[in-house]
Chain A
Amino acid sequence: MTLKSLAMTAVLALVCGAAHAEQVRVYNWSDYIDEDLLAKFEQETGLKLIYDVFDGNEILETKLLAGGSGYDVVVPSSTFMQRQIAAGAFQKLDKDQLPNIEHMWDLIEERTQQYDPGNAYSVNYMWGTTGIGVNIDKVRQALGEDAPIDSLDLVFKPENMEKLANCGVHFLDAPDETVPLALAWLGEDPASQDPEVIAKIEDVYAAVRPYIQKFHSSEYINALANGNICVAIGWSGDILQARDRAEEAGKGIEIIYNAPKEGAQMWFDQMAIPADAPNPQGAHAFLNFMMDPENAAATSNYVYYANGNKASQEYLNEDVIGDTAIYPDAATLANLYTTAPLDDKTQRFVTRLWTKIKSGT
């Protein structure tokens, strides 16, 4: 090898190495960003953005706990994040690199502190509620004009579900959402960690299980929008996205979202930086970019979830900030509950119970 080609190889290696360092790899939920922002981020920062998606906290958690995920920014839900922080999966944020953090909303920051004391490891991306999405025409056809679309009676009373079974009912396949839901309907503490209390939900689900077509955490968006199903227990913004897709399709399908009046779970998806992130500096740049009020507003306007950014509210569309399904009014807000992560033994009990509910075994 001549000296010249050796030098060339060295230069190439350097260039490649540099190019690699300038990548930011983000792992976020599916259907959860305005994709124009991805190009805007690359343009503003000159960093190359690699954007991957998942549809369940479990998938993200397993990648984080296996180590070496290769991601710089991930977006776990707060309950899962609390446990991941304990496992040492994240690095503390360097708030000097996050000037936009001043725009964050104290009301939300107070609530996320419960999972991440001092918000040392994370900033809020979006938050929302878990509730009921209905194809209003089909549900009225099945149950009449006064169908209880804002009550869990709709999905937990067998006599209602029997009539809805034909047009299709989907539930989230996420026990950390569906267990509190049934507890709320029973009038129990939705955040209960007591296996004896949690066990009560088995009968609730057993009574309506024959009428539930599927448990899945992302299919219901399209299924609702296409008219394949008429009721979904799902995340607020996902159901509102289904509403929009149905409108765009113009087939006359009207979707409505309601947080159940028995109480609805409030959850927070938090942006955090894995402990072994290859490019923590780029990760901070991404976090700061997403906390820019205009960008946070663009995301909410697109995905129909509320964000934890106070300053973004002046840029929000009227159909977002004005919709109590997204930004709940004081009365609804008081009716929202949060949950805490389960210890290993209770978690195993809940997973097993959930498997039994789903498969009958």
Chain B
Amino acid sequence: MSLDEVRANLQSETRDMRLEHYEHVLSTNDIAYQYILQSEPDTFLAVLAEEQAGGRGRRGRKWYSPPGTGLLMSTAVSFVSHVAVRFEQWPLLAALATREAIADFVDVPVQIKWPNDVMIGGKKVCGILTELGSYQHGRYLIIGFGVNVSTDPADLPEDLQDRATSILSATGQFCDRNELAAAIINQMQRVRIDCYDGKYFADRYDEWVMHCNTPGQYVRVQQGKDLFEGVAERIDERGTLHIITGDGKRHQIVSGEIVESYPGPNFPTEGAKRT
């Protein structure tokens, strides 16, 4: 990757932002954290890497990306004043940002799986891990993106092969990683400015829902220790997932994730494709 190329594709308002590139890191989120600790208030920076030895997914899961085939990037945003910042909406908005960025490079639908996976053809092409913490100037968010750009799905662990893919594999279209990095940063800058302007997830709700493939699916959802199985009814303007279980009860899911989903009224008994 080339930081000059990334920078050349940034909007003017972010062209001078801090960009760092590494060949090998444990985790871009961890490096971004180190930079944000030293940063001035109201910073926006990005760290990119070719390879992550300890790339993290949710709850310590590994994020696999063969070197040079993925976009491994963490953006960090700090806030002097976090009055009315709805931090829990940022993962949803980061997913929309990534969706918008990827959609500009391909001719097929790019969708969001609640709350923040980006999917093509029902398979995951981007995972996002968002961490919120405090430092001397206030609060910071670190949003880590792992996009499978040209990864051969055969190089992914076997248990991921039917759930994950890459942009190239799913579309046959090549996506320049420098341009994609810049496109995601530009979209995140929009999220950041919206936040300062008092705009929330609800302000981009229609756009988000239009691209979300979750409603209507039969899902199994893990929320803490609880497992729910039922039809995903909708996502509301706070980003909460509503599901209706077999007993007719509606459950509002604010945490956790969809561990399994199927585009039908129930799970197939065997052999069918699940995402």
Chain B binds chain A = no
A residues contacting B by CB (< 8 A) are none
